[in-house]
Each structure stands twice: as C-alpha cells, then as structure tokens.
C-alpha cells in the first residue's frame, strides 16, 4: 500500500486497453456464489466478518485524524544492482493535481483519471479530468474510519482497497455507485490488473494475484532484485507485460517480470520529486517526508506514463528511454 503518511506504523513499520469486460451483474453474481469465499492469509490476520455486504450505509461525517509521530529517519532506498538498468524518465507534459490528495491509487481509463486518496477521514475514490485536475465525481468510503489504498478498474468495476480494515470496495466505474464489498486478510497497499486477474501488494516483497469475483488469492510471487527481496511495494500499474511498483519512501519505481518476480529495471523519479517539492514550496507549503512518489498510470493513447505523488501539485507525463 502506499505507506501512508507514515501513518503506517512502518516497522514503526491500462492503456485503457479494452480489457476483457467484467460486467456488474457478473461481479454481483460471482460474489454471491462465492459465499463463503476463502480469504488469503497475508502479513497480519484480520478478524473474521461476512464476506460481502451489498447494501452499504452512507458514511458519517468525517474528521481528520492527527498524524502519529514520525521517525527521525526514513528507511533507506531499495538496493540496486549494476546488472539492473536505471531509467530516467523524460517529462513531456505537466498537469495540475490536487495538492490535498494523499494519492494511493492512480489509473487512466480512456480519458478519465481514477484516483484513490488515503488518510482516515480524508479517503475517497475520484474520477478526475487529467487536463485541468478538476474532480468530476467523488465518493467517500462507507465508513469514515477506513484508510483507502490502491485502486484499479477492470471492465465496469472499480476496486478500491483499504489499508488495515480488510475490505475492498466495489463501485460502478461509470458513476461510482456502490456495488458492495469483499473481505480479505492482511493489509492492502497497491492494486492493478492484467485484464483477467487483480494484482495486489501489501507492503511486503510479495505480489498477490486475486480473483475479481471472490478476491481469493490465485497466485503469489516474491519480488527480488539481484537475489534480494524488495519490499514496501506500493502503488501498482500493469503495462506491456510488466508490473510497475512505487517503492514506498523512495524515489524509485520497480519494473517487475510477473513470471519470475525479478526487477528488470529501476525508474528514478528523483527529478520529478524535486520539481514537485519546488512547486509546492512556491505555493506556500513544503512536502513532508511521507509525500512520496506514489501514482503510476498508463496513457495508452500516447504510449506514456502519468506519474505523481502524495499531495504533489503536479502530474508528470513522461516517456521512458
């Protein structure tokens, strides 16, 4: 997930490629048929609860939860190897981004940018205009106490994770109408899909392939670079046969082979982070250490990537070498 503003007690711890259509009726029917569905056992177990609740109550009024005390130093960047190429993205365009959005999920579907924002009391799922940053539609979670995480759209359904509540919310991708919720065990960080399965991260060095109807785990894959496990896998994007993952609290994105789990390239976004910091300072605020790069979306029409970060005032459209 995206380690939230260090809210995560860290160790104080696409291409609107017309993917196979997943219909709303199929999702609802599949969910009902899967009762009770088996939940994957991830890092931390969650209390058992009904698998799905189709009728969602409206959220109560929200309030911002104070940030916990942050550690004096952030974890070191992921290890790199001379055998793994380091790619520097070339910026070709810049777009405005809501500086209050604590970005956890980021995906472009056609011309609509979907975004999931985190923090308790500030979480939301949004449909936005890429060109001007305007929020076209927004919905808050059914509970004001959850911390929203990664997001992906598969067919007609938008899936949104929660961090430690063991819930994934389902929405109609056209209007954000609630379609219910499914349960899972452990933490939720990033989410993407390969056109058939959902792919999830939980902050560890493991990616999980999940069934879009039941959310049951169908495959696990450990991510490594030069033989070492790479953890803190956060926001995800599936593109051209690879999984791209922001590494929480670093300026690196890993390009991961979904067959072997090996990191085949690093993308260094340090220059983007520095520009975002300067833009924020110019507007009267400094980015915090937890306002890290977190947001990868594929612009299929142009063959580019859209990159942003938590509370960044900019979205960068880039090309990779």
- At 88-145, the pLDDT tens digits run 999 999 999 999 999 999 999 999 999 999 999 999 999 999 999 999 999 999 999 9
Supply the pLDDT for residue 25: 53
DSSP-H helix ranges across the chain? 24-33, 270-282
Is 86-319 assigned to CATH 2.130.10.10?
Answer: yes
Lowest mean per-residue pLDDT among 45-59, 155-169, 227-241? 45-59
Say whether pLDDT at 65 is over 50: no
CB of 116 closer than 8 Å to CB of 235: no
State the CB neighbour count (10 A cutoff) for residue 177. Answer: 11
Let me know the angle formed at the C-alpha of 124 by 248 and 242, rounded to the nearest 5 degrees. 45
The pTM is what? 0.77
**What does the alpha-carbon distance between residue 49 and residue 303 come to, in Å, rounded to a whole number?**
42
Rounded mean pLDDT of the chain? 82
Q: Which two tokens stand for residue 51?
A: 């698998």
Largest pairwise CA distance in the chain: 54
Work out the average pLDDT over 250-277: 98
CB of 93 closer than 8 Å to CB of 303: no
**What does the alpha-carbon distance between residue 31 and residue 266 come to, in Å, rounded to a whole number?**
37
Helix (H) or strand (E) holding 273: helix 270-282
Q: Which residue has the higher pLDDT, 8 or 109?
A: 109
Supply the pLDDT for residue 22: 55
């Amino acid at each position: 997930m995206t380690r939230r503003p260090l809210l995560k007690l860290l160790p104080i711890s696409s291409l609107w490629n017309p993917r196979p259509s997943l219909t709303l009726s199929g999702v609802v029917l599949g969910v009902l048929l899967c009762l009770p569905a088996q939940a994957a056992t991830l890092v931390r177990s969650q209390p058992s609860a009904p698998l799905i609740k189709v009728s969602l109550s409206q959220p109560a009024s929200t309030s911002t939860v104070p940030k916990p005390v942050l550690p004096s130093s952030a974890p070191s960047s992921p290890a790199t190897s001379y055998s793994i190429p380091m790619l520097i993205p070339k910026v070709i365009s810049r777009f405005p981004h809501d500086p209050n959005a604590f970005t956890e999920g980021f995906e472009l579907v056609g011309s609509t940018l979907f975004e999931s924002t985190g923090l308790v009391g500030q979480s939301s799922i949004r449909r936005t205009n890429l060109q001007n940053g305007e929020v076209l539609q927004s919905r808050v979670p059914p509970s004001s106490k959850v911390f929203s995480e990664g997001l992906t759209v598969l067919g007609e359904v938008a899936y949104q994770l929660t961090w430690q509540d063991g819930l994934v919310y389902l929405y109609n991708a056209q209007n954000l109408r609630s379609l219910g919720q499914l349960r899972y065990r452990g933490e939720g960080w990033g989410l993407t899909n390969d056109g058939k399965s959902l792919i999830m991260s939980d902050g560890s060095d493991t990616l999980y392939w999940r069934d879009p109807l039941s959310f049951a785990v169908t495959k696990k894959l450990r991510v490594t670079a030069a033989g070492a496990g790479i953890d803190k896998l956060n926001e995800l994007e599936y593109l051209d046969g690879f999984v791209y993952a922001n590494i929480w609290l670093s300026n690196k994105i890993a390009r991961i082979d979904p067959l072997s789990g090996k990191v085949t390239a690093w993308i260094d976004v340090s220059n983007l982070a520095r520009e975002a910091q300067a833009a924020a300072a110019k507007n009267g605020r400094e980015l915090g250490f937890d306002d890290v790069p977190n947001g990868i979306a594929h612009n299929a029409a142009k063959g580019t990537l859209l990159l942003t970060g938590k509370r960044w005032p900019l979205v960068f459209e880039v090309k990779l070498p």
